Amino acid sequence: MSPLSKALTPAQKARKAKRITSNILVWILALFVVFLTVFPYFWMVLTSFKDRLEAMAIEFRVFPEVFHFDSYYALGDQDPSFARAMLNTVIIEIAVIPIGTFVTALAAFAFAKMRLPHKTFWLLFLMSGMMVPYAALMLPQYRVFSQIGWVGTPLPLIIPGLFGNISMMFFFIQYMKSIPSALIEAGRVDGASWMRIFVQIMLPSIFPAIAAQVVFWFLGIWNDYFAPSIYLSGSSWVTLQALLALINDNMQRMPDYPLVMAGSVISSIPIIIIYIVCQKYFVQSLAASGMKE
């Protein structure tokens, strides 16, 4: 289609019509997906405004009769308070992710782009760590952590993470393989050290992957409740999800759905923000990284 041609040939017309129909179909599909993803979330938000008995009602009712904000106020009365639990979670995130990501990316770089003796062995060695179910390690690990006084502190959730995240490392390796080795060769010819190549060439090129994985890891920590419940419950270091699990459990006989939902709504807001911020990054950085050439 040259911009000069004004009149459309019948074939072009047909193609245009076809494109319009397919556009409409895409829109319908997209909106349907939006319905699927939004509805449960929407339900959660609406339930948080219901009254406790109303939330237990058997009749199908989407909207609360009256919008109650009580559950949101009640979040402050928890022990520890919801704000404290959020702060605890943020502390863990900040303590783990920056160092953990750097360590992970560095190791991935060695695996993906460097000469490393027994590479496959080391990779599988590290990955075998992922293959042992946590339930099996829990008892011995708990005992050790308990012996050194870490139970009731966030240390069991922080320290292991500082040594890297193997699943993330595996992702980086896969991703780095698609980065042209020529870039690294060029760096080597210029006499740059491996560390410099990693920091100045590799890190920027894998930025989208980092952004995606950081969002993932952040979310993983944010939404994890099994380990935090085991290690932190009963202490002032309780994380958001452990607190929600506690609220949910405390009410087992007479569930307080609105309170749990209000907590979930509040806890989801920071992640939505993080996501929106990172989304911008990993779209922008792609254009800048020169990978599109």
Partner 1 sequence: MKGKFRNHMKKVFAVAAASMLTLGSFAAIACGDGRDSDPKKLTFWFWGSPAEINVYNQLIQQYQDEHPDVTIAPIHFESNVYMDKFVAERNKPDVFFMPDTDFLTWADAGVMLNLNDYVTEEELNLLWPEAVNEYYYNPETKTLGKSEGAHFYGFPKDLGPVCLTYNKTLLEQQIARNNLDRDEVYDLLSADKAMTWTQFRTLLKDLTKDQDKSSPAQIYGIPYYEMDIAMYSNGADYFKNNAETHGIDDRFIEAVAFNIQLATVDKVMPSADMSGGTDAYTKFFNSRTIFTWMGPWDNADFWTQVKFGYDVIPAPRGDHDDTQSVSMIGSMCYGVSAAMAAKNPAKAKTAIDFAKWLSMSETCQKKSMELGQQVPNLLSMAQDFISSTWEVEPAHRSLFVDIIDGNSNSVGIYSSEAEDKISGKTRSLYYTYDSTWKDNLMSYIDDRNLWRETSYEKIKSALEAYKNDLQADLNEMNERWKG
Partner 2 sequence: MNAIAKKTKKHDIHKSERRTAQLFIALPVIGFCVFTLLTLIAVFAFSLMDYNVYREEFAWLGFKNFSDLFTNSIYSTAFFRAIGNTMFLLLGIPVGMIVGLALAALLQSRAIKKCNKFFQVLFYLPAVTSAVAINLVFRYIFNPEYGLINNLFNTHIAWFKDPWLLKIAVIIKNTWAGMGGNMILCLAAMLAIPSSYYEAADIDGASSSRKFFTITLPLITPTLFYMLITGIIGGLQSYADAQVFAAGENGAQTIVYFIWVYGIKQGKQGLASAASLVLAIFIMIVTLVQFKLSNKWVYED
Residues in 19-38 that interact with partner 2 by CB under 8 A: 22-24, 26-27, 29-30, 33-34, 36-38
Minimum distance, C-beta of residue 223 to partner 2, in the bound complex (Å)? 6
* Contact status: 52 vs partner 1 (CB under 8 A): yes
| CA–CA separation, 256 and 51 (whole Å) | 9
* Contact status: 199 vs partner 2 (CB under 8 A): no
**Which of 202, 226, 233 lies closest to 113, judged by CA?**
202
Query: Residue 282 binds which entry of partner 1, partner 2, none, with Cβ cut-offs from 5 to 8 Å by kind?
Result: partner 2
* Contact status: 253 vs partner 1 (CB under 8 A): yes
**Which of 237, 96, 92, 226 lies closest to 161, judged by CA?**
96
DSSP string, 23-38: HHHHHHHHHHHHHHHH
φ and ψ of 62, to 5 deg: -80, -50
User: Which one of residues 8, 33, 177, 249 is an interface residue with partner 1 (CB under 8 A)?
Assistant: 249
* Contact status: 234 vs partner 1 (CB under 8 A): yes
Residues in 140-159 that interact with partner 2 by CB under 8 A: 140-141, 144
Minimum distance, C-beta of residue 267 to partner 2, in the bound complex (Å)? 5
* Contact status: 130 vs partner 2 (CB under 8 A): yes
**Sign of the dihedral through C-alpha 137, 142, 147, 150:** positive
Minimum distance, C-beta of residue 14 to partner 2, in the bound complex (Å)? 14
CA distance to 64, 98, 211, 285, 287, per residue, from 89 (Å)? 31, 15, 19, 28, 33
User: Do residues 232 and 238 make contact, with C-beta atoms less than 8 angstroms apart?
Assistant: yes
User: Do residues 168 and 106 make contact, with C-beta atoms less than 8 angstroms apart?
Assistant: no
**Which of 178, 169, 181 lies closest to 216, judged by CA?**
169
| CA–CA separation, 293 and 117 (whole Å) | 33
> Closer to partner 2 at the Cβ: 237 or 244?
244
* Contact status: 236 vs partner 2 (CB under 8 A): no
Identity (one letter) of the amino acid at 276?
I
Query: Residue 180 binds which entry of partner 2, partner 1, none, with Cβ cut-offs from 5 to 8 Å by kind?
Result: partner 2
Size of the site for partner 1 (CB under 8 A): 49
Residues in 167-196 that interact with partner 2 by CB under 8 A: 167, 169-171, 174-175, 177-181, 193-195
Q: How many residues does the chain have?
A: 293
**Sign of the dihedral through C-alpha 95, 101, 102, 108:** positive
**Which of 236, 204, 223 lies closest to 274, judged by CA?**
223
Minimum distance, C-beta of residue 207 to partner 1, in the bound complex (Å)? 19
DSSP summary character for residue 197 = I
> Closer to partner 1 at the Cβ: 117 or 191?
191
User: Which one of residues 58, 62, 132, 189 is an interface residue with partner 1 (CB under 8 A)?
Assistant: 58
Residues in 33-62 that interact with partner 2 by CB under 8 A: 33-34, 36-38, 40-41, 43-44, 58-60
Residues lying near partner 1 in the complex (CB under 8 A) are found at 52-53, 56-58, 78-79, 95, 99, 102-103, 106, 138-139, 142-143, 146-155, 158-159, 162, 191-196, 229-230, 233-235, 245-246, 249-255
